[in-house]
Structure 1
Amino acid sequence: MYSAYPQEHARPPARPRRRWARRLLAVAVVLLLILAIMLVAADRVAVAYAERAVADQIDQQIAAQQIEASTAEVSIGGFPFLTQVAAGRYRSVSIVLRDVSAAVDGNSVRLPVLDVDARDVRAPLDVLRTGQGEVTAASVAGTATVAYDTVVQLIGQPGLQLSEQDGRLGVTAPVEILGQRITLTGTAELETADGEVLLRFDDLDAEELPGNEAARAFVNAYAQQISIAVPLPTLPFDLDLQEVRAEPAGLVISATARDVPLNTLG
């Protein structure tokens, strides 16, 4: 019995070693967190730099086309960003142009907003740094809004108003028929062709419309008069007009393109 005690007291204590191991683990975790924060911060700084570089090139091309617009808003998606920089390829680039205005056939056409979503963008680091070379996208989808006041100005009929009604383009127009002042209402069919938006009003009516052929003939003639083709400015990024729909803010057009340069607007 007596000989066992010295052997027990000879065992090395385990607690100090465990405490030291826990301290090392805690220090390692803190260092990893600091490193992760630094990498994220560097990633975000690089994103901001690239977004400014792309926006500057787009602004220069917009000005060269004599198109007025606010400063381009560019947002580059995907994380981590630095790996995309190294590869020179970016998953997505979002571009917003506001208050776009250009002269078309002597008329000023205003687009309050032009949203562009570019996918699979190729932008080598040297191009972003120097501004020399092309930034290209495999596919581009864009939407633009034509303000209703612009369309009303092109139609040129006093008192006429346009608005969205249950997803369709609605019209309200005060007219005088056979000495009687009435208000015509109706909707339009919308189509796209050759870079223009076609408005066709063929369903105008009024509760107080006189029930005779002369009154109906006047309404039909007026409907043809306000049915026009709305010219659009040449859209940047080689966007090809696809469809149009009526929304509360105006006529919203959709356009697409493939394999286009983002910093050479054509």
Structure 2
Amino acid sequence: MRALRISLIVLVVLGVLFTAADRLSVSWAENEVASRAQTSLGLSETPDVSIKGFPFLTQIAGKNLSRVDVGVSSYPAQVDGTAVTVEQLDIELRDLRLGSNFSTATARHADGTGLITYEELSRAYGELLGSESTGLGVSFGPAEDGRLLITLQASVMGQRINVGDVPGDITLEGDRVRVEVDTEALTGIPDSVLPQVETLIQEQAGVERTISGLPDGLALSSVTPGPEGLELTVTGSDLSLVG
């Protein structure tokens, strides 16, 4: 009986030591991956990295990690070459294959979410449109029905017109997005300039824009207006995390 108790104690101690070693190894690996991801992605700050699955040491021995979560508070991207910040970019990487010397890792599948705030979107579109040259100023906000609320100002025939708040939608095709303004909702605009205002909105605000600069291997799968901004969903495969 005494021998059995001693055996149980030894097993418990060994289990605790293995678990402690496993968790310490995870902590070291997370810091290492975060540092390399910061370099490979060109980030100004170290991302949050969480390696899932237990035991970690067994995954390392097999050179395959089941899941790694990477969180970036702000990520630099572009809309038609104009800088825009994607906030809260959280990426879930699955089935990571490690290189022979552990200096590379490639995720077979990746999914994530991010946010472009309305303030940031308005700033970027302001730079893209250049209201003084195009005659159209635009800013964005949330509408109660889940659509975009677009505030417009137009200059037509030397006349400055405060178009006001107009509902709209955003569509995605590949990596290209288009803001669609509901021109039928325009009110209070003199009939003499209404056609010119509608044309100006369609030709300037309705232009397709390309969102680029996301991590290699990730592509936009949806763009949805939310309470704080455009909520992005990204997906991809064969995403290189470290190198």
What is residue 191 of structure 2 aligned with on the other side?
213
230-239 vs 108-117, greater mean Cα deviation: 230-239
Which structure has the larger Rg over C-alpha atoms?
1
Equivalent residue letter for 1:149: E
Distance 2:207 2:100 in 1: 47
| Structure 1 spans left out of the alignment, 5+ residues | 1-20
**In the alignment, is residue 81 of structure 1 matched against residue 56 of structure 2?**
yes
Q: Secondary structure, in 3 states, of the residue corresponding to 2:213?
A: coil
The alpha carbon displacement at 1:180 in A equals 9.4
Structure 1 or 2: more strand by fraction: 2
Identify which of 170, 173, 176 aligns with 1:190: 170
Structure 1 or 2: more helix by fraction: 1
Select the structure with the greater relative contact order (CA < 8 A; seq sep ≥ 6): 2
Root-mean-square deviation (CA, aligned residues, Å) is 3.0
Distance 1:205 1:102 in 2: 32
What is residue 35 of structure 1 aligned with on the other side?
14
Distance 2:90 2:41 in 1: 15
Q: Secondary structure, in 3 states, of the residue corresponding to 1:160?
A: strand
Kept after mapping to 2: 8 A contact 1:89/1:124: no
**In the alignment, is residue 236 of structure 1 matched against residue 206 of structure 2?**
no
Distance 2:176 2:160 in 1: 35
TM-superposition CA deviations, 1:46-65 (whole Å, max 9, x none): 111221222222111122xx
> TM (normalized to structure 1)?
0.74
Equivalent residue letter for 2:8: V
What is residue 145 of structure 2 aligned with on the other side?
166
Kept after mapping to 2: 8 A contact 1:43/1:80: yes
> TM (normalized to structure 2)?
0.80
Kept after mapping to 1: 8 A contact 2:77/2:212: yes
Identify which of 107, 122, 131 aligns with 2:97: 122
Q: Secondary structure, in 3 states, of the residue corresponding to 2:7?
A: helix
| Structure 2 spans left out of the alignment, 5+ residues | 127-135
What is residue 139 of structure 1 aligned with on the other side?
109
TM-superposition CA deviations, 1:92-151 (whole Å, max 9, x none): 111112211246655221111222111111115731xxx3xx311111123222222222
Identify which of 171, 176, 199 aligns with 2:179: 199
Distance 2:64 2:137 in 1: 52
Distance 1:244 1:57, change over 3 A: same
The alpha carbon displacement at 1:249 in A equals 2.6
**In the alignment, is residue 109 of structure 1 matched against residue 84 of structure 2?**
yes
Equivalent residue letter for 1:140: A
Distance 1:213 1:117, change over 3 A: same
Distance 2:222 2:210 in 1: 14
Distance 1:100 1:88, change over 3 A: same
Identify which of 31, 48, 62 aligns with 2:27: 48
Distance 2:80 2:185 in 1: 32
